[in-house]
Amino acid sequence: MFVRVFCAPGKLADTVSFYETLTSTRLDMDMEIPEGGLHVVAVGPFLILELDQEKHALAVETTATVLTANLDETVARQLAEGAEVAQARWESPVGPGIRLRHPDCLPAEYVEHRPSPSDVSEPGPSFADA
């Protein structure tokens, strides 16, 4: 599970550096999704999203991102426990996703993510080293 952090275009390197220092962890995922207008970097428990102001308003409505190996099973289990669909299933380069609202009203994004050869398997050089 990730805590979502948002940054404006051009601020990603500084934001990543801050969270690397905060967590004493180097980035372990770095994906640019041009068709979605965002750049996503994971540093420890933080999912940093660089996106423009237009996309920011929708993105901040979701406070957590949960990676799952099987989206359909996870959604079925969540719905059985009282969660509601907040945004219908979509397809993305990473894998399918859906937004659910938990019974306690927590809005969460669920994404089916299976590591691929292009994923960072070992944390690489930090943005600060660039």
pLDDT in tens, 87-127: 999 998 788 999 999 998 999 999 998 665 555 544 444 45
CA 29, chain centre distance (Å): 10
Query: pLDDT digits over 47-91, tens only?
Result: 999 998 777 777 888 888 999 989 999 999 999 999 999 999 999
Q: Is residue 46 part of a domain?
A: yes
43 with 95, same domain: the answer is no
Per-residue pLDDT for 22 more than 80? yes
For the chain, percent of residues with pLDDT exceeding 90? 60
State the pTM of this model: 0.72
Structural domain of 42: 1-60
Structural domain count, the chain: 2
41 with 4, same domain: the answer is yes
Give the closest residue to 28 by CA, choosing from 8, 48, 4, 58.
48
CA atoms within 13 A on the CB side of 86: 20
**Residue 10, phi-psi category: left (phi > 0), alpha (psi -120 to 50), beta (remainder):** left
Beta bridge partner(s), residue 4: 47
Neighbouring residues of 6: CB distance < 8 A, sequence distance ≥ 6: 48, 49, 51, 56, 59, 60
65 with 79, same domain: the answer is yes
